[in-house]
Amino acid sequence: MGVDLRQVVAAVLTLTMFVMLGNMIKRDHFDSVTEKLPGEIQDVAKVAEQGLYTIANMGKGPWLEDGQELKPCWSKSNYDELSRSKGYVTFSLTNGPEYHVSQIADAVVVASVLQATLVVPDIRGSKPGDERKFEDIYDVEKFIRSLDGVVRVAKKLPDKISIRNLAVVKVPNRVTDDHVIENIHPIFKAKGNIRLATYFPSVNMRKATEKSNTDSIACLAMFGSLKLQPEVNEVVDSMVERLRALSRKSDGRFVAVDLRVDLLDNKGCHESSPAGRKSCYSAHEIAIFLRKIGYDKDTTIYLTQSRWDSSLTVLKDIFPKMYTKESIMPADKKDKFLETEDSEYEKVIDFYICSESDVFVPAISGLFYANVAGKRIASGKTQILVPADISGSSAPATDFISPYVMKKNHLAHSCFC
């Protein structure tokens, strides 16, 4: 009996994901939010003067006003004429939306450098059988239009090409054109068509120190190609509206906290680095952090945790208006979008609600935090607060603004002006 390449790729990706995730949580810690910043922005007053944020005057609590939405710096003008396609590049989106944006960027860069046709990917979850079509979650027509003039895009692989005959090529996240030319092009030239499997050596989303010929392509793909399909977008919008309605005492503003119990149970999760920083914070620690920086008991909090867990009780005791997906999702949508715990739908909903909230607090360091930060920076929603253990009874929220914002060192700052 023949071996199904789809099953082989899925098994490899699933195993790699769990090993990688454990290593990431153990070794990657939040950037320090207390170290001094270079140049003229070493104190909060000067940062405020430069327009990174302003203190909001309305309502109670340490709310900050949003900044201005940024404009894309990239240009498609250099890619109006495409040469004849030299083959096909296929891939799958895996492990959730925080990975999708990076996988899309890498695949588009590879296809562009190879002058190949990119095949619209399928979507695969972390559990066996959790497979979906691209259009189940994302707007496929928008995706194709956004890449017009940059790479050719096909909705499916031609029938004459068997997926079993595709060479599987591992691609590092944030792949460079040099890497494609040196390591991928020879395989593509020999095989004619390839299948990509992106791996993540780190979760570093800082700006690159050197410019690449494909920077504009990566920016366009990461920030300009993915849009939720209408039904999923409608569910996200309705949940955001519900959270705002529940937040009348804070003028409709709410805090989104990325806190997932399964990741907090990782053995290395709470270990401090040599600098004293941790890679994740428990529900109790987040509750104390939020109270010490000034959020009162009436603050509305959205948690990415999919289902209720007893460890969350302490957080709900301090912040009674705390909600998970199952408590605010429209009743007629639950059968579809809450069908299985930790499904792709649930991950996507979390990612976009955290991107649209007034405040985002990542209780867990990693790619979710990094890529939500990127979307927020682009839209001007820069109140991203990195948690920490506060020794005193209180501290200003401005002490904990993410370094991605304060130092402007996120990749998004290379893509938006």
pLDDT in the model for residue 26: 42
pLDDT-derived band at 80 (thresholds 50, 70, 90) equals low
Nearest to 177 by CA among 217, 125, 118: 217
Answer yes or no: is pLDDT of 233 > 70.
yes
- CA atoms within 13 Å, Cβ hemisphere of 363: 29
pLDDT in the model for residue 37: 36
Q: 60 phi and psi, to 5 degrees?
A: -95, 155
Work out the number of other CB atoms within 10 angstroms of the CB of residue 348: 24
Answer yes or no: is pLDDT of 43 > 50.
no
Residues 6+ apart with CB under 8 A from 119: 88, 89, 90, 91, 153, 154, 155, 156, 157
The C-alpha angle 83, 86, 89, rounded to 5 degrees, equals 115
Q: At what angle do helices 97-114 and 367-379 cross, to 10 degrees?
A: 80
Answer yes or no: is pLDDT of 36 > 80.
no
To the nearest 10°, report the CA torsion of 63, 256, 134, 119.
Answer: 60
Asked if 117 and 154 count as a contact pair (C-beta separation under 8 A), the reply is: yes
Nearest to 412 by CA among 102, 87, 172, 164: 102
Going by their DSSP bridges, the two strands 122-124 and 64-65 should be labelled as unpaired
Computed over its alpha carbons, how large is the radius of gyration of the chain?
A: 22
The proportion of the chain whose per-residue pLDDT surpasses 90, expressed as a percent, equals 62
Q: 96 phi and psi, to 5 degrees?
A: 110, 165
Answer yes or no: is pLDDT of 300 > 50.
yes
| Domains, the chain, with CATH or none | 5-11+73-224 (no CATH), 45-69+229-415 (3.40.50)
Q: How far is CA 179 from CA 109, 119, 173, 212, 363, in A?
A: 11, 21, 11, 11, 34
State the chain's mean pLDDT as an integer. 84
Dist CA 201 CA 23 (whole Å): 10
Read off the pLDDT of each residue in 57-77 and give the average, rounded to a whole number: 77
Nearest to 175 by CA among 113, 220, 97, 260: 113
Asked if 363 and 11 count as a contact pair (C-beta separation under 8 A), the reply is: no
Answer yes or no: is pLDDT of 144 > 90.
yes
Read off the pLDDT of each residue in 278-303 and give the average, rounded to a whole number: 94
Asked if 389 and 285 count as a contact pair (C-beta separation under 8 A), the reply is: yes
pLDDT-derived band at 38 (thresholds 50, 70, 90) equals very low
Dist CA 347 CA 367 (whole Å): 13
Dist CA 38 CA 310 (whole Å): 43
Work out the number of other CB atoms within 10 angstroms of the CB of residue 142: 15
Q: Which residues of 292-304 are buried (b: 16+ CB within 10 A; e: fewer)?
A: bbebeeebbbbbb
The pLDDT tens digits of the residues spanning 171-201 come to 999 999 999 999 999 999 999 999 999 998 8
The pLDDT tens digits of the residues spanning 112-143 come to 999 999 999 999 977 777 789 999 999 999 99
Read off the pLDDT of each residue in 265-287 and give the average, rounded to a whole number: 77
Nearest to 122 by CA among 169, 155, 158: 155
